[in-house]
Amino acid sequence: MSNNSAIGVFDSGIGGLTVVKSIVESMPQENIIYFGDTAHVPYGTRSKRQILHYVLSDVKFLNTFDLKAVVIACNTADSVARQAVEDAYPDLPVFGVVDPASRLAAAQTRNKKIGVIATKATVESGAYEKAIAAYDSEVDVLSAACPLLVPLVENGRFQVGDIVIETVVREYLDPLLAEGIDTLVLGCTHYPLLQDVITHLYPDLNVISSSDAAAAKLLGTLIREGLCNEEPGSDRKYFVSDDAEGVDKLARVFMREDLGGTFRQVDVE
């Protein structure tokens, strides 16, 4: 069995490309439609009401394509609007980032103390606490909203030795480490780029990328249901809601050069 319908992936901006990167690494033959809502980025500092409104527009656009799955790559969108998406599109297989990362973290922690770093909206939603408790009710979850990490990453500040990013990461993470966490979930699409900095500062910490976890879950499901694409010649289409000019350059940072396409502007509202 083979299915060459596309996988739709959306995010508030282009950080969701870390999920595309993870998908491409494990499923290079899949066709992908990516949409980044750059006219409204960031979601993580906005209200639930506003996020719901934007997310439903995003899915409505993706749903104009022939899809076999939609991936909510944005932790904020997944935390706040997942249920609304499933209610609005009951026939669409929806994948998120929070559940796969929570499952992995609950399985890997040894002392049952997990840290989660994410946007303000994700932390306030309590989505990670709820998802992790569903896998192991005895785990303590310590969450920290890290509003400076997205702008710092988007401005290229993710190098080991950069005093700016290292100071800010320490301020966010030291209190979680002081509480004894042994596992940390990177609960935002931008944070996988900080993996080197975090591992440099905290070499014993077990770090889980929600982007990798999401791709692994998607792959498992497609294999199990016989929905992988086995035809050659995969295609990737990239869209943004604000102007596409200059987006490719930043996009390559998240895709580590392997973009395999170019961004186009589209109005979705």
Indicate which residues carry an active-site annotation.
Answer: 74, 188
Binding characters for a copy of itself, 16-55, by CB under 8 A (x = yes): ----------------------xxx-----xx-xx-----
- From candidates 28, 147, 180, 220, binder to a copy of itself by CB under 8 A: 147
Stretch that binds a copy of itself, among 88-96, 109-117, 150-158, 179-187 (CB under 8 A): 150-158
- From candidates 1, 91, 163, 203, binder to a copy of itself by CB under 8 A: 163
Q: Minimum CB separation from a copy of itself for residue 115, in Å?
A: 20
Binding characters for a copy of itself, 50-89, by CB under 8 A (x = yes): x---------------------------------------
- From candidates 66, 179, 230, 245, binder to a copy of itself by CB under 8 A: 245
Q: Minimum CB separation from a copy of itself for residue 148, in Å?
A: 5
Nearer to a copy of itself, 69 or 250 (CB): 250
Q: Does 136 bind a copy of itself (CB under 8 A)?
A: no
SS3 sequence of the chain = CCCCCEEEEEECCCCCHHHHHHHHHHCCCCCEEEEECCCCCCCCCCCHHHHHHHHHHHHHHHCCCCEEEEEECCHHHHHHHHHHHHHHCCCCCEECCHHHHHHHHHHHCCCCEEEEEECHHHHHHCHHHHHHHHHCCCCEEEEEECCCHHHHHHCCCCCCCCHHHHHHHHHHHHHHHHCCCCEEEEECCCHHHHHHHHHHHCCCCEEEEHHHHHHHHHHHHHHHCCCCCCCCCCCEEEEECCCCCCHHHHHHHHHCCCCCCCEEECCCC
Stretch that binds a copy of itself, among 1-9, 104-112, 160-168, 203-211 (CB under 8 A): 160-168
User: Residue 11 is encoded by which pair of tokens?
Assistant: 């995010």
Nearest partner of 141 among 183, 204, 99, judged by Cα: 183
Nearer to a copy of itself, 136 or 166 (CB): 166
**Count of chain residues binding a copy of itself (CB under 8 A):** 21
Contacts with a copy of itself by CB under 8 A lie at 38-40, 46-47, 49-50, 147-148, 151-152, 154-155, 157, 163-164, 167-168, 242-243, 245
